[in-house]
Structure 1
Amino acid sequence: MNIAVETSPQLRELHRQTEVLVAAGWAEAAGMRRDRFRELATGLAPRLPDGEFVLTPRRGLVTPETMIRSARLGGKTGFTTMESADLAWFAPVDGLRLPDSPLYLLCGVDAGQRTRGVRPDDAADLLRDAGASPLTLEEGLAVAVQFPRWLVERTCFQMLGSRAGDKRVTGVWVSRTAPRLGWCWGGNPHSWLGMASCTTRLG
């Protein structure tokens, strides 16, 4: 069942984002039919915000490797050198509440321009004080898939919302002109990496 293309810009954007994921093979990767995947996205239409949003999969629906390969910048396909078993350790941090639905919406997404040069370990408090929530691994990858130009027009970013029980923080940046999923130490600041966040999650 296709999402009807209405006059609403928000509905058209939901349709666009859904078809990006369908074309990338996310329905098959999630073990479902394409029409079912579209139905799940359509079900979010009543919750669409007025501003920017990002259609995001629940953790485990699609692997991080599939997600980063769906991010394309200037014709280059995203990649990672991290192993699947290693990526599986990165889980949402304690206290981070995520919707239960297979697909949900990130609202008020900020790539983190104001947190460039801040140590990731220090940035969590800054985000909380600003009323923002750090993006998880999967959420950051969803942003890179839907808006890869943000990596050059806004900033590359890290995902403080997922940790592996060690000192690492995953991030997405541009390497060899392609989106790359990797990690950096939580105690090291980088002038070219912000801390991605959102204000609301709607399932």
Structure 2
Amino acid sequence: MFGRTLGGMHAATLALPDLTTQARRLVELGLGRLAGLPDSAIHDAVASVEVDDALLVPGPALVTPSALAPLVNRADKPGFVVVDMTDLDQFGPIPGVDLPDTPFYLISGLDRGDEMANWSPDEALPAITGAGRTPLTVSEGIAWLLQQPDRLEPNHCFMTIGSRLRKPNGRLDSRTPAIWISGGTGRDGRERKGAPKVGWCWAGNRHTWLGFASAAQRRSL
């Protein structure tokens, strides 16, 4: 399933910038200010790391996904979180998704999951884990778009089902985070047409324009 080509292009075939370039990008976006870190700490995190084609991820304990979302830019428009997802930062990793306990970490083998477009999250999760892969969290999906905003394309966007909200009774909330392109309708506002949008979909629903982002592995820094 993973690694096929869709429409002549596949997310996994597009190499990421090297880690030094990624760190510089995060500094330019103002991550240090958001996280309360000196810019040198971001550069130092990757200074001695020699890994090719891996994504540098600021951990959710360092900076929340709601704070990261506006740093994503598409068509000169900043990203935003839908108004009915005020609890985005309470979404945590699902069982089986273990995040490194470090301010920054790496993920490799990224795949947008185009082949699973029109699958529901409930259908996609066992397929991802059954292939020995791990679904991206919403913070990881946003971090990917900070480095490669062109991974968000019309009709080829993605869910980040590695994050879910746990209710007080222990059950999972039915919403699953997703990142796509705003049509500028409804409460988004016309001025946001074409902007990156962090929203949600029901776990049992299918959407033709949403794949399921996943990775091969995570590693600490």
Q: Out of 157, 171, 175, which is 2:178 matched to?
A: 171
2:218 is aligned with 1:201: yes
Contact kept, 8 Å, 2:175 with 2:202, in 1: the verdict is yes
- Offset at residue 34 of structure 1 (A): 0.8
- Offset at residue 21 of structure 1 (A): 0.8
The separation in 1 between residues aligned to 2:119 and 2:21, in whole angstroms, is 34
Cα distance change, pair 154–130 in 1 and its aligned pair in 2 (3 A): farther
What is aligned with 1:142? Answer: 143
TM-score (norm 1): 0.87
The separation in 1 between residues aligned to 2:33 and 2:60, in whole angstroms, is 16
The separation in 2 between residues aligned to 1:136 and 1:159, in whole angstroms, is 5
What is aligned with 1:23? Answer: 28
Taking only the aligned residue pairs, the percentage that are identical comes to: 36
State the SS of the aligned residue for 2:124.
helix
What is aligned with 1:54? Answer: 55
State the SS of the aligned residue for 2:207.
coil
User: Which stretch has the larger CA shift, 86-95 or 152-161?
Assistant: 152-161
Deviations 1:116-160 (A, max 9, x none): 111111111000111110001110111121111011188210111
Q: Out of 177, 185, 191, which is 2:208 matched to?
A: 191
State the SS of the aligned residue for 1:166.
coil
What is aligned with 1:6? Answer: none
State the SS of the aligned residue for 2:24.
helix
Deviations 1:153-196 (A, max 9, x none): 88210111010121000010011111111111111101100110
The separation in 2 between residues aligned to 1:97 and 1:91, in whole angstroms, is 10
The separation in 1 between residues aligned to 2:126 and 2:34, in whole angstroms, is 36
State the SS of the aligned residue for 2:107.
strand
The separation in 1 between residues aligned to 2:157 and 2:38, in whole angstroms, is 33
The separation in 1 between residues aligned to 2:158 and 2:175, in whole angstroms, is 14
The separation in 1 between residues aligned to 2:16 and 2:154, in whole angstroms, is 25
TM-score (norm 2): 0.80
2:97 is aligned with 1:80: no
- Cα RMSD of the aligned pairs, angstroms, is 2.0
What is aligned with 2:125? Answer: 124
